[in-house]
Structure 1
Amino acid sequence: MAAASAAVAGLIIIEPMELHADLSQRALFDSNALDWTPSPMAGVERRMLDRHGEEVARATSLVRYAPGSRFERHSHGGGEEILVLEGTFSDEQGDYPAGTYLRNPVGSNHAPSSEQGCTILVKLQQMHSADQQRLVIDTTNSTWVPGLVRGLEVLPLHAFGSEHVALVRWAPGTVFQPHGHPGGEEIFVLDGVFQDEHGSYPAGSWLRNPPGSVHRPWSEAGCTIWVKTGHLPAVQAPDGSEA
C-alpha cells in the first residue's frame, strides 16, 4: 500500500493511494482502530477503508463532518452511496438524519454539509452508469421482512443487475447455512457482533469477501449489518475464464 498526503497553501492533497484496492482479495478493518485523517475541506475527516486513485477515487470511507462544516459542490462521475450513521447529513435537496440510505447516481452533483455534525459510510465511483435511480430511504421507518432462516430480518435497500444492498438484523443465536458469493460480499457491522469461521466482527467492522468466496455466518449476541452482494467483478482463472 502506498499512501501520502501533503499540506500545500492550507489544503490537504491526497496523492495516489492503493488501499485494499485488489478486489479479488479478502479485506478487513476495525474502523474504530483507524485514525481520522483530514479531507481537503476544513472540518471534514475520513477513515479510509478501501481506495484506488487520488482525491477523486474509487473509495469506501467513513466521513465525519464537524458541526457547521460543508464540502464544496462536486459531481459524482461514478455515483455515490451513503448510509448516515450519526447526526444529520444535508445537501440542497434535503436533510438526512441517522438511518437514512442515499444513492446519488452517476453524473449527479451536490454541495453537502452538516449543521449539527454527522458521520456517514460512503462509497464513491462504484455505480453502473445505467443505474440512474436516486434513492432516499428512511430505514428507521421502513418495513423489514423475514430472512431465509429463523432469526433473520431483512430491509432491502436497492437492487440493480446482480447487485443487492440491504440491512440485515440477526437475533441472538442465529446461524446461516454455508453459502458462496459469486459476485462478492461487503459488510459493515452497525451494532452487535457478526461472526463467521474466519473471526468475530464487532460494531464498526468492515469486511469484503471476494467473488467466489464461501463462508458460514452466525451471531451469538445478535447484530445488525449493512450488506452489499454481487457488485464485485468475477475472478479470472489463469486460462482467462471466470473462476
Structure 2
Amino acid sequence: MLLNADFSLSAALAPEDYQWVNSPQNGVERVMLDRVGKEKARATSIVRYAPDSYFPHHLHPGGEEILVLSGTFSADDQDYPAGWYLRSPPKSGHKPYSREGAIIFVKLWQMLADEDRQVAIDTQDTKNWQPHGERQVCHLFSNDNEQVSLQRLNAGEALFTTDIVGGAELLVIAGELIDAGQIYKRGGWIRLPTGELPKINAGAEGVTVYLKTGHLSQIESIDFTSL
C-alpha cells in the first residue's frame, strides 16, 4: 500500500477528514496518514484503542515512536497517560493495550538501524519545558537524523522562521494552526518537504504542536525492501 508515499510532496489531513479503518486486532482502529507497505509498513497513523483492547506481544524491527493523545496507553505493565512520548529503537518489542481506551500518534519503521535509545518523557511535567524565544519547547529527541519536540506558540506566531532543512512534520496537540488559510484544529497533521519556508501560524488562542524536522532527508537510507 502506498499512501502519501512521495516524500518530496506536501501532505496534510484535517481531523474532520479522518477515516477510521479496522486493524487486524479487534477494538483497535487507525487513521492512516502516510504508509509504504502492507500490514508490515513504514507508517504514520493515529491509532484508537477501545477499552480493554490490545495487541499481542510483537517486535518492531524498524522502531516505534508514540505520543499518547488521550486516555491511557499501556505496554508491558507500564501505564502512560495522555502526554507521554515513547520511543523504542529497532528490534525492540512490547505488548500494547489500554484498559480505559486511548488515542495515540504512532510512527513505525522510521528510525535508522543503529539507533539504540529508549525514551519515555512525560510532556505534562512542567520541568520538561524550556523557553525558546517567545515560545515554550519540550525537547523529546535529537540526533544527526532528526529533531523532535513539542512547541507552544503564542497567538499569531509563525511556526517556521527559516527554510526547512530535511523536511518537517507536525501534529496539532491543542489550539489551532493556520496554513494558507486552512485551519487545523487538534489532530490536524501536516508533512512538508525540505527547502520550503511555509507560512504557518498559530491561531487566535495559540497552539501546541508536535514537530519533527530533518527526518525526510534520510528517507532513502531506510531499507523498505522487506516491507
Where does residue 191 of structure 2 map in the other structure? 208
CA distance in 2, matches of 1:35, 1:112: 23
SS at 2:8 equivalent = coil
Answer yes or no: is 1:104 the counterpart of 2:98: no
Change over 3 Å in CA distance of 1:195–1:92 after alignment to 2: same
Answer yes or no: is 1:42 the counterpart of 2:17: no
Deviations 1:65-88 (A, max 9, x none): 110011011111110000000111
**How far does residue 217 in structure 1 lie from its aligned partner after superposition?**
2.9
CA distance in 2, matches of 1:235, 1:130: 15
Where does residue 174 of structure 1 map in the other structure? 157
Report matched runs for 1:25-174 at 5 Å.
25-141=9-125, 142-148=127-133, 150=134, 152-174=135-157
AA aligned opposite 2:70: E
Deviations 1:7-42 (A, max 9, x none): xxxxxxxxxx11101111100111332221100000
CA distance in 1, matches of 2:149, 2:72: 21
Question: Greater CA radius of gyration, 1 or 2?
Answer: 1
**How far does residue 93 in structure 1 lie from its aligned partner after superposition?**
4.9
SS at 1:220 equivalent = strand
Q: TM-score, normalised by structure 1?
A: 0.85
Q: TM-score, normalised by structure 2?
A: 0.90
Where does residue 174 of structure 2 map in the other structure? 191
CA distance in 2, matches of 1:161, 1:198: 33
Where does residue 223 of structure 2 map in the other structure? none
Where does residue 19 of structure 1 map in the other structure? 3
SS at 1:127 equivalent = coil
Q: Quick check: 28-37 or 111-120, which moved more?
A: 28-37
Structure 1 unmatched ranges of 5 or more: 1-16, 237-243
Equivalent pair of 1:188/1:207 in contact (CA under 8 Å): yes
Deviations 1:108-135 (A, max 9, x none): 0111111111000000000111221001
Structure 2 unmatched ranges of 5 or more: 221-227
Alpha-carbon RMSD: 1.8
**How far does residue 143 in structure 1 lie from its aligned partner after superposition?**
2.6
> Which residue of the other structure, out of 216, 220, 237, is the alignment partner of 2:203?
220
Higher relative contact order at CA 8 Å, sep ≥6: structure 1 or structure 2?
Answer: 2
Change over 3 Å in CA distance of 1:199–1:107 after alignment to 2: same
Identity %: 44
Change over 3 Å in CA distance of 1:94–1:201 after alignment to 2: same
CA distance in 2, matches of 1:174, 1:162: 27
CA distance in 2, matches of 1:198, 1:58: 30
AA aligned opposite 1:158: F
Aligned residues: 218
Equivalent pair of 1:158/1:165 in contact (CA under 8 Å): yes
Change over 3 Å in CA distance of 1:218–1:82 after alignment to 2: same
